[in-house]
Amino acid sequence: MSTDAAPLPFGGRLRDALDTRGPLCVGIDPHPSLLADWGLAQDAAGLERFTRTVVEALADSVAVLKPQSAFFERFGSAGIAVLERAVADARSAGALVVMDAKRGDIGSTMTAYAAAYLDPSAPLFCDAVTLSPYLGFGSLRPALDRAREAGAGVFVLALTSNPEGAQVQRAVGTDGRAVAAAVLAALAEENRGAEPLGSFGAVVGATLTAPSADLAVNGPLLAPGFGAQGATAGDLPRVFGAVARNVVPSVSRDVLRAGPSAAGLLSAARRWADDLAQALESAPGAGGA
């Protein structure tokens, strides 16, 4: 009989990281324009230099790093190799890694995506991965089950901040609920009874003026849109209210533009973490559990 201890669930590890390192996720998004601004070539070597600098500067201090897979995939196998090293190095330094891949499919294909990102033996194993539920929430079952087994997590697209998203996410289904509301309700069911925080989260844009849905899913809410997309630290309690403490605020370009200096990157990240922590003090129930 195996004596291996069960892996600690992602939700608990995330709660600890946010509380000890501050409420911040920094996206690793090697946009062509950022590589150019850093004086780097548009090739795998430039990608490697950019990514290594970000990881070395931030992985031992921020709660979460979120590489955007597409910016690595565009360089083919060399780019994926850079991504594999970045994930491993960031996790070794103590950061949680969320792979921003937005995968979504059915059956054996969804099972393969789950194996790629949520199997501890896989080269791209991460603490969590972003998923798309628009082939039906049930199509995500292989990833949900694999994540639970591995102590990993998922973030499912629910209320994104891009204007086009409303066409699908706010559409009303046959049960009278908006699609986003159904996704959030399904996540709440996955997280039922989890303490201190469930491992199955939603992606909810910080730039939304009114989420118009119940965000209390007993799980984390990955919130892109801070910084370059317009959301400020003050929007954290305004948009998320009573669940603001469970939000993982994501900032990408507003931190990355402070490079290529490692000190500049760290200073920008710390400023955002401090501002977001201060904003949380004004959120409903800020003094509670």
Domain ranges of the chain: 10-280
* pLDDT 10s digits, 79-104: 999 999 999 999 999 999 999 999 99
CB contact at 8 A, 280 and 253: no
pLDDT over 60 at 1, yes or no: no
Neighbours of 96 (CB within 10 A): 26
The mean per-residue pLDDT over the stretch 60-81 comes to 98
What whole-number distance in Å separates Cα of residue 217 and Cα of residue 201? 8
How long is the chain? 289
**Active site annotation includes 102:** yes
CB contact at 8 A, 101 and 71: no
Q: What is the DSSP letter of 231?
A: B
Mean pLDDT across the chain, nearest whole number? 95
H or E stretch including 224?
A: strand 221-226
What whole-number distance in Å separates Cα of residue 75 and Cα of residue 82? 10
Neighbours of 268 (CB within 10 A): 22
pLDDT (0 to 100) of residue 283: 80
Q: Which of 102, 238, 253, 270 is catalytic?
A: 102
* pLDDT 10s digits, 155-193: 999 999 888 999 999 999 889 999 999 999 999 999 999
Tell which CATH classification among 1.10.357.10, 3.30.1490.20, 3.20.20.70, 3.30.465.10 matches the domain 10-280.
Answer: 3.20.20.70
Structure tokens of 23? 């409420």
